[in-house]
Every structure is written in C-alpha cells, then in structure tokens.
Amino acid sequence: MTDMDEMMKERHSLALARIYEIREEHFGNPAFEKYFVKVASFLIQMDETAAFIGAGGLKSAPIEELLQRNHALYEDILEENYEVSYANPTYAVKELGEEFGALLSFLYTEMRSLIGFVYEGKTFETVIRMELFLEIYAAFSYEWQENGMLPGYESIRQMIYWFVSDYADVATLQRTKELVTGEETFAADIVMKQDLSDVRYLFAYGEYISENELTMARFMASLPEETICTMADTYTEGYRMGFVMGNKDLSKKKVVDIRYRLGFERMIKRAIENYDKIGLKPVIYRNPYSILYNPSIFKTGFYGGEPNRQYDFDHKDDKALFFDKIYMNRRLEVSHTAFEEYKDAALGYAGPALVETFGEKDFEPVNKPESLRLSEEQNALWVEYRQKAGELQRNYILEEERSFTIIAFPIPEIGDVFEELFEETIRINTLDYKLYQGIQQKLIDVLDTADYCEIKGCGENRTDLRINLHKLTNPAKETIFENCVADVNIPVGEVFTSPVLKGTNGLLHVKKVYLNGLEFRNLAITFEDGMITDYTCDNFEKEEENRAFIKENVLFRHKTLPIGEFAIGTNTTAYVIANKLMVEDKLPILIAEKMGPHFAVGDTCYSHTEEIRVYNPDGKEIVAKDNEVSLLRNSRPEKAYFNCHTDITIPYDELGELNAVRTDGVKIPIIQKGRFVLSGTEELNRAFEA
C-alpha cells in the first residue's frame, strides 16, 4: 500500500466516523437536522455496501438479495418515492426553504454519485465527497448553535465552488485516462470474465437494475450463438468500414470507445473479441453522475436502468451553482494539462462505437421552478466552453483520423412486440447494402442536376421548405450527395448533402418526434437563408417554456443554428415494420432518419473533416461538404462550428411531395404522397405493397 493509499484510508476512516455521529446529534434546527441525518444515513449505507462487496457478497448472495440491495440504493429517487425525496428540488425547497433547498438538493445528488465509485473501489472519489458533506454540515451546525441562525448562502455556495475547482484537475485527468488508454478495465472485466448466462453479473456494476435489464440479459442468454455473432459482427464491421470509406488508417489506432446499456454484454463480449482481431482494446467507462464529470440527461459510456428520468431532468443545470468564467478557464486549463499527459495515447483513440437502445416508456418532463437554471450569462459561457473544450480535444484526438459507428436495438420495456421487433431490427440492420447502393445512386444522379429541392408536408404536416443545393463544376467527376450504406450509421438507407444556406428557406414541421431521448410535439422550426429564426412546440402550456425546451435540447443553448444536412431516407422496410408493430414513435433517430427526408440543425456531417477527400462507390468525389458557416474555419474558427447535430425526420405518411428543381424550372418528382416515384427507385415501394 502506497503512502497515498494509507492517507486516503485514514481520511476515509475519520470522515466515516464523523458521519456515523451525525445520526445521533441535534444542533437545534429540526428541518435541517432531518436533512443531514438522511444524507448521512445514505453515506453509511454506502459504507455497508462497500463492506458487502469486499466480503464477496456479489458472488455469493442469491439474486433476491442482490435485487433488494440494488433497489435499496435507488429507492429514494424512484418515481413512487420522489415526491418526498431531498433529491427532488421541489420537496427540498418546501422543507428547507427557497434559499438553501435547491443547493442542498444538489449536495444530496452529488453524494448519490458515490454508488459507482464504491462499486469501482475508488476511495479517493468517496472521501472528497464525504468531506464536502461534513464541511457543509459543520457550517450549519456551528452557525445555528452559536448564533441561532443559518449560515450565509454565499459561504455555502463557495464551499461547493472550491470543491469543483480544487478537484477539477483530478477528475479531468481521470476522465481523459478512461477515454484514451484502455487501462480502466472495470466494465470490460465484467463482460469478459463473468458468467453471462447468470444474470447476477448485472449487479456487479452498481447501476440501477430494473426488470428491463434482467429481461434483456435473459433474452440475450437465450439467443443462439449465430444470432449473437450476426449482431456483433454487423456492429464491428460497420466500425471497420467507417475507416475504409473515410480513407482513414485504422492500423494507427489502439483503443475503441464502446458504449452500451446493461443487458447487452453477450453481444459486447463478441464485439470485444472482434475488435481485438483488428488491434483495438476496449475503452468502457461509466456514464457520469458526479458534477465533476459533467453529467447530462444524454447517456454515454455504460449505464443501467433509469430509476427516474425526471430526477435527471431536475438536476441537468446544477452547474449553475458555480459555473462562471474563472471556473470555465480552470476546466479548460486542466483539460489541456490532461491531454498533454496522455497525448500519445490520444492519438491511438479510434472513436466511439455505440449500441443504442429504444423502446423506453414515454417521458414528459416537468419544468420545476425550484430547479437550478443557468442564467443567460451562464448559457453563453456554456456554449463558449463546449466550443473551446471540443476544439482542445480535437487538437489531440484528430477528427480526420478517427471514426465511429452506431447500431440500435429495442429493449423489453417496449412491450409485447419486443421479441418480434428485435428479430426485425436485426433484419433491418443487415439489409442488402448493394441493393440500396444502386437505388440511391439513381437518386443522386438526378439530385446532382438540381438547383434546389422543395419539400412539402401533407395532412396536418405544415412543412414547406426550399433547400438550396451546391452547384457542380465537373459533373463527370464530382457529386453533391453521399451514397450512405451501412457503415458508421447502421442500418443502410440514405443519401445526404450539406445545403447551401443562402436561399434555403421555409418551415420544417413534424407532428411528433423523439430527439435525444425527449419527445417534441408539433415541433416547428423556421429557416431564413439556412439559419433558424423561429421555433416552437406544444409540449407545455406556456410558449416561453416550449421555446426554452427547444433552445436547451435542440439548439443546445445557441441563439441560432444552421441547417447542416439535407438527406433522403430510403429504408422503407424499417418504416413498414415500425408501422406494422405500431412503434413509429419509439424508434431512435438512427433508424427514423432512414424513414423519410430529414434535416439536421447544427454542424454538417463533415464537421472538422472537410479537407479529407471522400468518394462515392461510383468513384465521384463528394464536394458539398461545407456551408457558409463552416467555411469560416480558416478565418474565424470560433464561429465555424456549433458542436451539435440533431436530425429531424418527416415520416413518409406526413410527406406530400419532394421534388428536385433544375435551373430551367423543370421539376423532377422524387417522392409523392409518401411513395418514391423516380424511375429506378420503384423497388423501395415494395415494402409498402407487401
């Protein structure tokens, strides 16, 4: 044991002894005493959990006990208990007052991040959070006992501020190490070394395990090896092909960033074996929960069930407690230091390989006035931070040398159609890409002759858009649209381009769409010269709430965004399956974007890789990779990118017409009333007929 380990062990013992004492103390304010006893009891529960893990309980305990212990850790934030939980800002404000309610709700939420750290045996992470809790408890206890009053709000906020500032370097160094080295093997060891036919392995993660994860793991265990291989091979081959199609050298890479939801370990194990054959080690890290690791409502890394999505939504802006320019610069400084330390490893980072899921029950977020919110100034700083942090990372993880892939599968939560839909999803993911490649080339041949495209909705869909296209100077060797087959974006089925912003105008409207896991009803976005000028939806009664919801979760707090992509999805098979099983509103954008024309707001598909020469299978070079905003990268790089890209699809049944319009005014119909009418694309309608 090193001196540092000894010191951490001593600090841990001292902190824990003090926390045990809190349960028996009374400093005179019953409301705040109740809160601190509750949080102290949770920390003691974490100590008891650590003892259980250390004694080998995860391997010896029956599944009933493992399930009981797992749910006990998350019981307080489950929907049925959340109304009287201090993790709920509304309840915390009611019990503790407007001044301290939201702040102490955050503190309890930060303490809850100990679950993952305890399961991974990270004593340092546990100690620093317990010490923060004790520091704040001491301030309340002392001030009330000595002066009969609560401490000053600013003094408590400063304790949190210096906690996040002081430990920013440690957290950033740790996260960078997790991302690029492959040295953190906690999750990979579970996948590769545990008996995946015994679902008790799920409880080794420390994530919330619901019936959904248990059913998923049992279902995966029941599948024949051939099916598992098909799933994993499609996923890993798509990743490899991303390097081939992007003209990037995979042999220079050392690690692959694997992201998945618990229950899919059998597929992930096969995938890790596949990646090993091409020289890649797995990087697998936990979805962040601590404020030091920038948690988000958008999941990344590995993650389990979601005990309460409203809980995540309530705390998405907790950084409002401390986020200012000084802290922003501090984070950027320590990020630079971390990447410098791991710069050699960063060059070997190949990119993320995502296994997405869909079928979760509907979630309608509630905007609570008690929740912390970023101010306008903080919003602007957050946008600036994301831009600078992204640019800094790209200096070490070279965008032009890395790739990615995404594949999606349903989860049991989707209902009785799960097994049939799972089988159909495998079929969708393995469609004959050669067939689609040929049909899509027919589309591209016509689109390359167009001046612009016009898209109009039908029925209740009010879409009326004109998309201005790049003009070719050498049609024999150049093309505007990419012929996208199943590599980085599985499944097959789209052609896409970067529109010209000037002259791109009109209204984009969809009746219902899921974006980044959130439902938007009657989403309407107006464009003028390719930039968003207005937006609304029907999620909330108040218009200002609707606009704030879109600004946070579609515009990602930017004042406006350009239209970065125009695409035509061709996967009618996926569309028909979704309709047949009545799961259209459950599909992820990965599949939904292939089921009609779609439009991305944010950066282009070629963001930061514009200089790489890319070719379609017919040998023509794709030249429409820029727009007027991304072209600023050479003169004003801080204005060229937005670090976001959100696809919005108009489903075939809401599409009235999509026409390619030439400079002489001749319209060439591509889709009419939701069906492909261009000569050579008739095969795409067979799925509808069947």
pLDDT digits (tens, 9 = 90+) for 451-500: 999 999 999 999 999 999 999 999 999 999 999 876 677 888 899 999 99
Query: Residue 637: what pLDDT?
Result: 84
What 3-state DSSP class applies to 473?
coil
Q: Cα–Cα distance between 525 and 510 in angstroms, integer?
A: 9
Instruction: Round to whole Å and give the CA distance between 116 and 343.
Output: 27
For residue 515, the one-letter residue type is L
pLDDT of residue 589: 77
For the chain, which ranges sit under pLDDT 70? Answer: 1, 486-487
* CA gap 555, 643 in Å, rounded: 10
Residue 173, SS3 per DSSP: helix
Query: From CA 136, how far away is CA 158, in angstroms rounded?
Result: 10
What is the C-alpha separation between 600 and 496, in angstroms, rounded? Answer: 10
Helix ranges, 256-411 (H)? 265-277, 309-314, 325-341, 343-347, 376-394
Q: What predicted TM-score, i.e. pTM, was given to this entire model? A: 0.91
Contact 362, 304 (CB under 8 A): no
Q: What are phi and psi of 409, to 5 degrees?
A: -140, 150
pLDDT at 486 (0 to 100): 63
pLDDT of residue 453: 97
Q: Which residues pair with 518 in a beta bridge?
A: 515
pLDDT at 1: 65
Residues 6+ positions from 67 with CB-CB distance below 8 Å: 203, 209
Strands 518-528 and 405-410: unpaired
| Long-range CB contact pairs, 119-122, < 8 A, 24+ | 119/49, 119/53, 119/204, 119/205, 119/206, 120/186, 120/206, 120/286, 121/53
pLDDT score of 344? 96
Count Cβ neighbours within 10 Å for each residue of 17-43 and write b for 16 or more, e otherwise: ebbeebeeeebebeebbebbbebbebb
